[in-house]
Chain A
Amino acid sequence: MKKEEAAAVQSGYPGWSGHFRREPEVPFARRGRHLTDLIVGKLLFIVALLAILIVFFIIGFLLRDGYQIVLEIGLWNFLAGMDWNPAGPTPSFGILPLIVGTLLVTALAMAIAVPLSMATAIYIAEIAGPRTKEVIKPAVELLAGIPSVVYGFFGLILLTEWIRILFDRPSGSSWLAGSILLAIMAIPTITSVAEDALSSVPREFREGSLALGATRWQTIRRVVVPGALSGITAAVILGMGRAIGETMAVLMVTGNAAIIPEPITNVFSPVRTLTGTLGIEMGEVAFGSMHYHALFGVAVVLLVITLAVNGLARFIIHRIQMTPARSRASGAFMQSVHNLIPVSLPRQAKRRVIHPRTTQRFAFLLISLGVVIVLAALGVILLEIIVNGAGAISLEFLTAPPSNLGREGGIFPAIVGTLYLVAGALAVALPIGIATAIYLIEYTADTRLTRGIRAAVDLLNGTPSIVFGLFGFAFLVLFLNFGVSLIAGQITLGLMILPTIIRTTEESLRSIPKSLREGSYALGASKWQTIWRVVLPPALPGIITGAILSIGRAAGETAPIMFTAVVFSSRYLPSSLSEPVMALPYHLFILTTSVPGADNQKFGTALVLLMMVLSIYLVAILVRRRYNRATVM
């Protein structure tokens, strides 16, 4: 495939003979090419700046509505106040319990998710045979495709119930329930990124270690995992970002009492997170009131926490990257070699009472247990929804508008609305995202500006979806006066998936070997010609995968659209971009929380949403598999 491209470039460029005959034309052609290069470069540069601009806009608009609360009650009282009681006789706006709640829920979620994810990642990368791998890897990735409102739905109906009965508590809505749910949601992210990192550790390290007589577990622990450390750290941080920013699932299971657990380790205490506060109170709050400003203040704090986590992550990854992966892995490798030679370390050999094979058996048992738990979680959620939802699916359900508050009729306008929202979001994000990625990879060296753009993209990536929703509401719906409309939702969702598209495009551009570009330049092709004809075509599958993953995310999100784009019900399909639409995740949220006696429709909607998002993910996985096979050949 690569040879073919090089050949195509070659044939596309005038050869020697042409050069001689058309001598006077060449400078013109060159100048034209340079001009194109210049213009395209500038254009891409401007588009790339958008990412920074968006970040400033988001911060600006949140601050615009949030700073009054600090003026009114003081920064210290806001951040360290113990009471969140905005509607009380003497309103108080202390958000310390909310901050603590967010941190506690996230911390415990990570404590559950990281070991399970590591076990699954290690299993997929190092232990599973190719057949098993082909099943488990996509299965875990499908977990990432389940919309968060579906998790919330599952958590509200089953998880809190199990916790209440199992631990004999008066109520199951608790810190623990929130953390378990967030852990399940973070596991796919952590697992797939960590697995990528493990798989990219060079094969010869493993072979060297095994050749020296190390067991597979010793190889994994001392050679492979240390070698993949930077990727694993990134994975954990990404998962943490998802956990901190999650709204819809968390608010359905934590009980939302604004208290700090007593004692602080009481995992059965109800807690309230920053995102949950925004999710449940934003819709009803009186505009311009102190409470309204306080909620924007909460959004700013949430953004700052995300920023801090991201900053920390960048710092850690940077530190780890200071020592290049290869040398670090080989350092670890050398050390493991030392450890394996009993003569050089007789002291350790004597102390070793447990045989390494026993350790290995034990470790593998734990790892398998982790994988089983993860797969069981997936299975339970899917089964519950499929079994209960299958009965609701009928032709009418799929093609009719809802009636009687969604208790009867179908969900056709919601299906179409979701498709419109997703198509619009892609139309917004795809051109901007790809242009930004091309600029970052192809046009610039590592300057302060590109670092700024990258930081902005990272920040956007970590920005909670509810913050996008608030921004869309404050900026698009109110400030630009779009009203609650299709276009406001499309732009909001587009901004939300922008970082994913930039990231995946960057990754796939980076994976194109430098030699291809150099070959193209050597043949006299201009920069833009090289990008358009040599770099982009092989990068396309990667870009498509990224786009498809974003579709899945956009289709399943509730928080960004609930203040910007959706209506409860509509008999007609929208006829212009300025009309609001129905959407599946919001419809499910409303059926679950506000319409009694719609159990059938509820499960049916959950099933349709799940199937829609999962089939999109399945396409992504298939595209990638095809692509992988192609490169192997």
Chain B
Amino acid sequence: MTGKRLSGVTAVALAGILMVVLMAAGCLGSQPSGSPASPSQQITVTGSTTVLPIAEKARETFEDRYPSTSVLVSGGGSSVGVRAVGEGTADIGMSSRDLKPEETGMYPGLVLHHIADDAILLIVHPENSIESLTLDQVRGIYNGTYTNWNQVGGPDLEIVVIGRDSASGTREFFGEYVMKKEDFIRSQEEFNSNGGIQQKVSRTPGAIGYVGLGYTEGVKQLNIEVDGNTIEPTLENINSKKYPITRPLYMLTNGEPEGAVKEFLEFIMSEEGQQIVASVDYIPLQG
């Protein structure tokens, strides 16, 4: 008799629980048959979104090669990588910059592994007639000296300055290498990713931006003039370091790597691994 009302509530509750269980079961059940049930060990890799494509591509081949190991790759940024490895929440960190004094102070055990190099390209809208700039001109644009393309030999068009956010490793490098530590113009539009800048530049006639090598769809790459020579950002020029704006990319471990972590890093440094580096538009290490 008293059970009557109770059963109403319980029935709905049961139905709800059943639904969740079924949903979960359905998901587990439909796991693709190709993937092995559960790999016995895991490596977690986290950090810079710039380095991420290398780790991600390497993971695909590595997991085929070592089926007992699963590699979990996540982004978040260079600092996330440093912190995660330092705190032990990840096995490998990725960073597109050197360690900062605060970081080496906090985590003295970190070991940097130089795994590849990255070039930074200057990009403009495809309809912009400008072909090349000197590094001084680039600095002039980014610090606000030039505000119209006709001041640097281009069309009469207002320059829209696009850059990375102030926590970005790419911006830090650009700030030191190209800007010589001068301040950026304050009206610079900021995006937190290469892709964001590429999309913005490809849709804005007056825009200029800087991105990594892979982000050139729908935009025009500028040549850089060094000592009167115009240098195209071709793979050849970049690999030979003739093209001036390149920087190192790192993976980090806390102490010297061991076991599966060591295997993964060795895989990336191997010839095959370096081919992967090239295939995702980064510069492989020479010898």
Q: Which residue of A lies closest to B158 (CB)?
A: A170
Report chain B residues within 8 Å CB of A9: 5
Complex Cα gap A217–B167 (Å): 55
Report chain B residues within 8 Å CB of A89: 181-183
Partner of A416, one of B27, B78, B181, B190: B27
Complex Cα gap A256–B187 (Å): 9
Q: Are B204 and A281 in contact (CB under 8 A)?
A: no
Q: Tell me the smallest distance from the CB of B197 to a CB of chain A, in Å.
A: 9
Complex Cα gap A481–B181 (Å): 37
Report chain B residues within 8 Å CB of A84: 166
Q: Which residue of B lies closest to A164 (CB)?
A: B204
Q: Are B204 and A172 in contact (CB under 8 A)?
A: yes
Q: Are A484 and B46 in contact (CB under 8 A)?
A: yes
Report chain B residues within 8 Å CB of A592: 195-196, 199
Q: Are A284 and B79 in contact (CB under 8 A)?
A: yes
Find the residue from B188, B192, B204 having the highest chain A CB count within 10 A. B192
Q: Are A484 and B200 in contact (CB under 8 A)?
A: no
Q: Determine, out of A60-68, A113-121, A328-336, A565-573, the stretch whose residues face the partner at the interface.
A: A565-573
Given A568-B74, A572-B70, A596-B214: A270 in contact with B166 (beta carbons within 8 A) = no
Q: Does A205 contact B (CB under 8 A)?
A: no
Q: Determine, out of B48-56, B226-234, B238-246, B263-271, the stretch whose residues face the partner at the interface.
A: B48-56
Q: Which residue of A lies closest to B27 (CB)?
A: A416
Q: Are A532 and B74 in contact (CB under 8 A)?
A: no
Q: Are A279 and B192 in contact (CB under 8 A)?
A: yes
Find the residue from A281, A533, A594 having the highest chain B CB count within 10 A. A594
Complex Cα gap A284–B46 (Å): 12
Q: Which residue of B lies closest to A543 (CB)?
A: B12
Q: Tell me the smallest distance from the CB of B105 to a CB of chain A, in Å.
A: 9
Report chain B residues within 8 Å CB of A284: 77-80, 165, 167-169, 192
Q: Mark B177-209, 1 if CB is under 8 A from A, else 0.
A: 000011110111111111110111001111100
Q: Determine, out of B29-37, B110-118, B127-135, B252-260, the stretch whose residues face the partner at the interface.
A: B29-37
Q: Are A580 and B74 in contact (CB under 8 A)?
A: yes
Q: Mark A534-574, 1 if CB is under 8 A from B, else 0.
A: 10110010001000000000000000001100111111110
Complex Cα gap A283–B192 (Å): 9
Q: Are A596 and B195 in contact (CB under 8 A)?
A: yes
Given A12-B4, A283-B167, A532-B9: A399 in contact with B32 (beta carbons within 8 A) = yes
Complex Cα gap A272–B1 (Å): 64
Q: Mark A285-319, 1 if CB is under 8 A from B, else 0.
A: 11111011000000000000000000000000000
Q: Are A256 and B70 in contact (CB under 8 A)?
A: no
Q: Does B38 contact A (CB under 8 A)?
A: yes
Q: Does B272 contact A (CB under 8 A)?
A: no
Report chain B residues within 8 Å CB of A180: none
Given A412-B32, A573-B27: A259 in contact with B187 (beta carbons within 8 A) = yes
Q: Which residue of A lies closest to B211 (CB)?
A: A596
Complex Cα gap A544–B15 (Å): 12
Q: Are B187 and A270 in contact (CB under 8 A)?
A: yes
Complex Cα gap A83–B183 (Å): 11
Q: Mark A1-38, 1 if CB is under 8 A from B, else 0.
A: 00001001101100000000000000000000000000
Complex Cα gap A12–B73 (Å): 58
Given A259-B186, A575-B38, A596-B214: A281 in contact with B165 (beta carbons within 8 A) = yes
Q: Does A590 contact B (CB under 8 A)?
A: yes
Give residues of chain A (77-91) contacting chain B, Cβ–Cβ below 8 Å: 83-89
Q: Are A597 and B77 in contact (CB under 8 A)?
A: no
Complex Cα gap A192–B188 (Å): 39
Q: Are A596 and B215 in contact (CB under 8 A)?
A: yes
Q: Are B103 and A286 in contact (CB under 8 A)?
A: yes
Given A87-B171, A478-B87: A537 in contact with B165 (beta carbons within 8 A) = no
Q: Which residue of A lies closest to B48 (CB)?
A: A284
Q: Are A173 and B189 in contact (CB under 8 A)?
A: yes
Q: Does A628 contact B (CB under 8 A)?
A: no
Complex Cα gap A157–B168 (Å): 23
Interface residues of A (CB under 8 A from B): 5, 8-9, 11-12, 83-89, 156-157, 160-161, 164, 170-173, 251-252, 255-259, 269-270, 272, 279-289, 291-292, 399-401, 403-405, 412, 416, 419-420, 423, 477-478, 481, 483-484, 532-534, 536-537, 540, 544, 562-563, 566-573, 575, 579-580, 590, 592-597
- Please provide the 7 A-B residue pairs with the shortest distance between their CB atoms, ordered closest to farther: A284-B77, A284-B167, A283-B77, A280-B192, A567-B74, A533-B5, A593-B193
Q: Can you pick out 10 interface pairs between chain A and chain B where the beta carbons lie within 8 Å of each other?
A: A85-B183, A86-B166, A170-B158, A171-B204, A256-B190, A270-B187, A287-B106, A401-B32, A580-B72, A594-B196
Sample of 11 more A-B contacts, CB < 8 Å, known A284-B77, A288-B106, A596-B198:
A256-B189, A257-B187, A270-B187, A279-B192, A285-B77, A403-B60, A483-B90, A536-B9, A540-B9, A569-B73, A596-B194
